Amino acid sequence: MNIEELREYCLSLKGVSEEFPFGESVLVFKVVGKMFCLTDLETNFSIAVKNDPERNLELREEYPAIKPGYHMNKKHWNTIDIDGTISDDMVKNLIDESYDLVVMKLTKKEQTELKNY
């Protein structure tokens, strides 16, 4: 996966926007204004995604390329090095899990807006 494929995949999800709220090098993908994936365009290619804390621990133990979220809440976020050791399908699954987790925590009103998007 490269940055263009990441961008295309994230933007294919319903209600997703892209922003640069942390400066011009950090690309953030949001669903209804809530972050679910981000990447720094100036460092080695990696992404940060949100997940269940227990799942995060399991992923970190199983995959050396998955580490606690850099500059994020390490309980809820992982940084995934996109270095070829983790398949594109797994990266997409982790993005989906992050997206779904954020959507589940949206208010009923926001969820309804997303369904009608």
**Structure token digits, residue 15:** 């209600």
Residue 71 and residue 14: Cα distance in Å, rounded? 27
AA letter at 10: C
Predicted confidence band at 96 (pLDDT cuts at 50, 70, 90)? very high
Among 91, 8, 87, which Cα is nearest to 78's? 91
Q: pTM, whole model, 2 decimals?
A: 0.94
Q: How far is CA 11 from the centre of its chain?
A: 12
Residue 38 and residue 78: Cα distance in Å, rounded? 11
* Overall size of the chain counted in residues: 117
* pLDDT tens digits, 49-93: 999 999 999 999 999 999 999 889 999 999 999 988 999 999 999
Residue 2 and residue 45: Cα distance in Å, rounded? 8
Q: What is the pLDDT of residue 43?
A: 85
Residue 28 and residue 26: Cα distance in Å, rounded? 6
Residue 102 and residue 95: Cα distance in Å, rounded? 11
> Domain 3-109: which topology?
Aspartate Aminotransferase, domain 1 (3.90.1150)
Higher pLDDT, residue 48 or 115: 48
* pLDDT tens digits, 1-18: 999 999 999 999 999 999
